[in-house]
Structure 1
């Protein structure tokens, strides 16, 4: 048992969008009463109560952000820094691009149904307990 509430456990209905929204929500309003890092929680609460005057929390965060930017540059990853860079425009797929996918799935289902039907085609046993 992990000790997590059912609402905190991973759910297979989660997708990239819902996971990212959860991360954004955590960053906007962290749960400081159930922290993974107690020291960070204490610093965050002190920073929030001081209305930003206590600089310890922001200084550490700033150092960590700069450190990860350097790591990313070393790894050849460009970290977006503006809203325009974050919001990459994608080209909509052509209307017929995914049309074959339906038929592939459809035929695959037909094959599975045929296999299932062949399992029930046994005429040796009528189910009436007669031989």
Structure 2
């Protein structure tokens, strides 16, 4: 793996520990591998996905950030831009090539100025506003457009989403994860705390790049596994 990729991912992970993206939990799948992350998305309140907790894997290429990562959902997600196998199709993760057949402009695609934070925000935006004109799931796209055209009279699409969100929430609760259902809880970020477990979390990151010392208060008290999140702390009853 290139040192530039390790450096970029080290800095981005540090940033997400100290300033999480609301509505997301992020952790390394294996502590020794900075190139594969587990991402969990809380369904935004006041949307079809409210109460949902959707897991995905994010895999980074060896030449990141010059090439984009890929995202595959592990949870069932019925969406026009999610393939049946869970792969996410979104412009920001497509290489910046000129492909007239795609209907995308090069400026809409990946470039090295993008990062994990902008990707996560784009994913939330896509969940709420699918691109039904270039679908990965044609059936979901047709169903979504029928629902929009009917002005909410055809409820097949929202019923499937809500069913999936409820099932995902039930799985999260089995794992002891609090799923925010209000905007207040969804937007609240975990408070950083200093503890021995914090130091263990920071030492894990130092494995990748000795140039970056992660302050104890960059890691919350549930980050023994190198975890960052935009939910809220279970101990306070408000999040994971």
Larger radius of gyration: 1
Match of 1:121 in 2: none
| Residue of structure 2 equivalent to 1:87 | 187
* Separation of aligned partners in 1, 2:178 and 2:190: 18
Poorly superposed stretches of 4+, deviation over 3 Å: 2-12, 89-92
Within a 5 Å distance, the mapping from 1:1-131 to structure 2 comes to: 6-7=106-107, 9-89=109-189
- Cα deviation, residue 11, structure 1: 3.6
Q: Distance in 1 between matches of 2:122 and 2:167?
A: 24
Cα-to-partner distance string for 1:56-115 (whole Å, 9 max, x where unaligned): 1111111010011011112222111111111224668xxxxxxxxxxx96xxxxxxxxxx
Q: Which runs of 5+ in 2 are unaligned?
A: 1-94, 193-209, 212-240
Q: TM-score when scaled to structure 2?
A: 0.34
Higher helix share: 1
In structure 1, stretches of 5+ residues that fail to align are 93-103, 106-131
| Alignment coverage as a number of residue pairs | 94
Higher relative contact order (CA 8 A, sep 6+): 2
Distance 1:71 1:63 in 2: 13
Counterpart Cα distance in 2 of 1:54 and 1:87: 31
Once the two structures are superposed, what CA deviation does each residue of 1:5-61 show, in whole Å capped at 9, x if it has no partner?
Answer: 545654443223311221132123211011111111010000000000001111111
The TM-score normalised by the length of structure 1 is 0.58
